[in-house]
Chain A
Amino acid sequence: MTTMLEYSGVHAHYGAIHALRGVDLNVQKGEIVTLIGANGAGKSTLMMTLFGKPTASAGKIHFQGQDITRVPTHRISRQGIALVPEGRRIFARMTVLENLQMGSTFADPAHFDADLQRMFAMFPILEQRREQRAGTLSGGEQQMLAIGRALMGRPQLLLLDEPSLGLAPLYIKQVFKIIRELNEAHGMTILLVEQNAHHALRVAHRGYVLQHGEIVLTGTGEQLLASPEVRAAYLESSAEAHG
């Protein structure tokens, strides 16, 4: 296994707030790794330091052996990292097709048609709605579009920031099904940030638990699911919510 992404001793600050306190984390090629934690634990910050927003104040981030700690934001995705941002952030007034096209801005144009076919095969709803304004899609459909848009850039690593947030239970299931499928059928390496610990740990190979900007627990998905600390802190309430 080769290391795709590696955080070593990463610190990050928002002004006076010390949001990350020496995080060590790695993602191996072909893995699904999930990062769980409560609101404000620093999950999104951890993901955004990868994009230099904010830049890590100490420590290093390596992607495929290259130091990308201080690479400008807009150059990160060109290295082969795609982000499905929290809250989807699709281009609402543009069509579905245009959204997908924006995702392929830095991909080889020769692949465009084939990639589009792949997305339409994976998300048939997007093909049906290809000329519809993206803002008129339902939340779940928008999430599919955001994932499709990220995949159009042919990334080697896919980051998903809270993909199940605000979705109906049926769509949540579908999103996790897609994540598993992407990994199993297409060998996609995925880093998944989730509050929905139950679903996330079931789909992930490995997981990290983040608390107050520090990794407090790590292990395989099953280990974490079985761990009493995780059960107490993250699963009891969500298990109730999801039956």
Chain B
Amino acid sequence: MTTPAPIQFTPTHQMPAMLARAKDAVGVALVSLLLGIPMIGLHTVDQGGVLAVMTRWPWLLAFVVAMFVGRFVMQFALDHVKLNKAKRERKRPEVAARRPWLTWLGRALLGFAVVLPIAFSGNRYVVDTATTVLIYVMLGWGLNVVVGLAGLLDLGYVAFYAVGAYTYGLLSTHFGWGFWETLPVAGALTASFGILLGWPTLRLRGDYLAIVTLGFGEIIRLILVNWTDFSGGPNGVTSIPRPTFFGLPFSPSTDETTFSSFFHLDYSADHRVIFLYYVILALALLTNLFVSRLRKLPVGIAWEAVREDEVACKALGMNVTNIKLSAFAIGAMLGGFAGVFFAARQGFISPESFVFSESATILAIVVLGGMGSQLGVVFASVLLVLLPELGRDFSEYRMLLFGAAMILIMVWRPGGLIAHREPTVKLGRAPSPVPANQGAQA
């Protein structure tokens, strides 16, 4: 009676799988043979000034065999992962369970972020890297509004980051504007750029939208490179003033009141690094608070609804145009804030900081983190910033490591590191006097 029926099927059902994997591996081996003949099978040797072509067939054979075995093993592993995943999904309860531990994890991370500069006060490198992580966290949270919540694939997000950075760079060097004054202006300006990008792309979706946003990002960068009178061209904007602590500069000078002289501290370059860290931490936390609040307001829920189904939204009376534009504007504004901070921190900006690979990194943070998940963005930023840093010892292999890590994450967690979506409405008080299960029986 207790014979586990499914197991009886396994031998007969495993054979075709093995055969299919072997076929697949043979195919890969053939392709590698074709590619390998010129790349590995033949090589050139310098013979007294003349290049001679030599063959190395044993190498080629080894390569083809390695590809065959590698592909076979990889398929096996992938199938195994898929099977396990399917099993896990079958076990998963259907109800979107709440995850209190995620909230606690978030709080613990926040606590750690607050004490980090104190714990590592002597280590400028750690605080600097943490600042970089936080810039990406902020950018990730901004892009999350556009991609994660509203579902609009934006490949040119770095353009807004650039607009924010150049707004501060130019306003401060030409007109002497301070960091805090520029912040709202840059926010408004980047939000308008968001709408500017949003308008013509309203009808586009998915890959078409991605191409247009990609073009938009490149346009902004090319303008910055070529409009030399305005942006300084490839040389960028230099000597951008650093933010001050309520008007107190961080400098070793003795003729004016500086941060260190006001607080009777010995001057240290670390003060500014730590100050900048707290500025971006505060900005990031404000962003998080802002976005989490928005998500629970009608506009935030509408973003998600538009991501799910535009037609249904229109039929329910929602103005999809305004909903999309608001997502573009708010996402752009947050990117702009991050840009202002970036310019203030670096003191120097040039178009080179705003290339496509930056957009790709930010998008990778959102996707790896789990679309729409705020906490996921934090983990993904830490990972994507730290991996290349840790990988420095591997020099030229570092991008290989980076790519492999990204693939592994997507295989292991296709929905991102944190795929859990917290519902925006819950019934605090029970809507009916009868609990759900009793109500069903009645």
- Name A's B-contacting residues (CB within 8 A): 51, 53, 73-78, 82-83, 85, 89-95, 97-98, 101-103, 105-106, 113, 116-117, 120, 124-125, 127-133, 136, 149-150, 153
State the CA gap A91–B311 with chains docked (Å). Answer: 11
Which residues of A lie under 8 Å from residue B426 when comparing CB positions? 97, 131
Say if the beta carbon of B7 comes within 8 Å of chain A. Answer: no
The residues of B that contact A78 with a CB separation of less than 8 Å are 317
- List chain B residues, Cβ under 8 A from A91: 304-305, 308-309, 312
Q: When chains A and B are docked, how far (Å) is the Cα of A56 from the Cα of B96?
A: 43
Q: Mark B160-200 against chain A: 1 for CB-CB distance below 8 A, else 0.
A: 00000000000000000000000000000000000000000
Q: Which residue of A lies closest to B98 (CB)?
A: A131
| Separation of A181 and B421 alpha carbons in the complex (Å) | 36
Q: What residues of B have a CB within 8 angstroms of the CB of A127 in the complex?
A: 431-432, 436, 439-440
Given contacts A85-B311, A127-B432, contact A98 B317 (CB under 8 A): no
Docked CA distance A53–B94 (Å): 36
Check A102–B316 contact: CB distance below 8 A: yes
For A82, the chain B residues whose CB sits under 8 A away are: 315-316
For B371, the closest partner residue in chain A by CB is: A93
> Among B298, B320, B427, which residue has its beta carbon within 8 angstroms of that of A130?
B427
Q: Which residues of chain A are within 8 angstroms of B305 by Cβ–Cβ distance?
A: 91, 94, 102
Jot down 8 A-B pairs with beta carbons below 8 A, ordered by A: A51-B315, A75-B317, A85-B311, A89-B312, A98-B424, A102-B316, A133-B94, A150-B316
Which chain B positions have C-beta within 8 A of A150?
316
| Contact of A131 with B431 in the complex, beta carbons under 8 Å | no
In the complex, are the beta carbons of B298 and A128 less than 8 A apart? no
Which of these, B421, B431, B437, contacts A128 with CB under 8 Å?
A: B437
Partner of A93, one of B308, B311, B432: B308
Partner of A133, one of B96, B424, B425, B440: B96
Q: Which of B398-442 contact A (CB under 8 A)?
A: 421, 423-427, 431-432, 436-437, 439-440
Instruction: Report B-chain residues with C-beta under 8 Å of the C-beta of A153.
Output: 316-317
Smallest beta-carbon distance B372→chain A, Å = 9
Q: Which residues of A contact B437 (CB under 8 A)?
A: 128
Across the A-B interface, the 9 shortest Cβ-Cβ residue pairs: A77-B317, A91-B308, A89-B312, A83-B315, A74-B319, A78-B317, A95-B423, A128-B436, A89-B309
Q: Identify the closest chain A residue to B320 (Cβ).
A: A74
Does B130 reach chain A (CB closer than 8 Å)?
no
Besides A94-B423, A97-B427, 14 new A-B residue pairs in contact (Cβ under 8 A), listed by A number = A73-B314, A85-B312, A91-B312, A92-B308, A94-B305, A101-B425, A102-B301, A102-B305, A105-B317, A120-B439, A124-B439, A131-B96, A133-B96, A153-B317
Name the residue in A97, A127, A129, A153 with the highest tally of chain B Cβ atoms < 10 Å from its Cβ. A127
CB-CB under 8 A from B425, the residues of chain A are 95, 97-98, 101
* A51: B residues at CB distance < 8 A: 314-315
Name the residue on B nearest A149 (C-beta): B316
In the complex, which of the residues B311, B313, B431 contacts A113, with contact meaning CB atoms closer than 8 Å? Answer: B431
**Are B312 and A77 within 8 A (Cβ)?**
no
CB distance from B326 to the nearest CB of A (A): 14
Does B386 reach chain A (CB closer than 8 Å)?
no
Contact A132 B94 (CB under 8 A): yes
Give residues in B with beta carbon < 8 Å to A. 94-96, 298, 301-302, 304-305, 307-309, 311-320, 421, 423-427, 431-432, 436-437, 439-440
Instruction: Give the chain A neighbours of B424 by CB distance below 8 A.
Output: 98
Cβ-defined contact, A74 with B314, below 8 A: yes
Q: Which of B318, B320, B427, B440 contacts A124 (CB 8 A)?
A: B440
- A214 and B311 CA atoms in complex are apart in Å by 26
**Cα(A102)–Cα(B306), bound, Å:** 11
User: From residue A217, how far is it (CB to closest CB) to chain B in Å?
Assistant: 28
Contact in complex: B423, A98 (CB < 8 Å) = yes
A95, B427: Cβ atoms closer than 8 Å: no
- CB pair B302–A131 under 8 Å, yes or no, is no
Listed residue (B425, B437, B439, B440) with the most chain A CB atoms within 10 angstroms of its CB: B425
In the assembled complex, which residues on chain A have CB atoms less than 8 Å from the CB atom of B94? 129, 132-133, 136
Of A73, A75, A77, A90, most B-chain CB atoms within 10 Å = A73
Q: Which of B307, B318, B431 contacts A105 (CB 8 A)?
A: B318
Q: Which residues of A contact B320 (CB under 8 A)?
A: 74
Name which residue of chain B comes closest to A136, CB basis: B94
Tell me, in angstroms, the Cα distance from A111 to B432 when the chains sit together.
Answer: 15
Residues in chain B near residue A106, CB distance under 8 A? 316-317
A116 — nearest CB in chain B belongs to which residue? B431
Give, as a whole number of angstroms, the nearest-CB distance from B231 to chain A.
40
Contacts of B318 in A (CB 8 A): 74, 102, 105
Interchain nearest-CB distance for A242 vs B (Å): 28
A105-B316, A153-B317 as given contacts; A93 in contact with B95, CB under 8 Å: no
Tell me how far the C-beta of A161 lies from the nearest C-beta in chain B, rounded to whole angstroms: 10
Other-chain residue from A77, A90, A116, A125 in contact with B309 (beta carbon distance below 8 A): A90
Q: Which residues of A contact B314 (CB under 8 A)?
A: 51, 53, 73-74
Chain A, Cβ-Cβ closest to B372: A93
Q: Which of B302, B311, B423, B439 contacts A97 (CB 8 A)?
A: B423
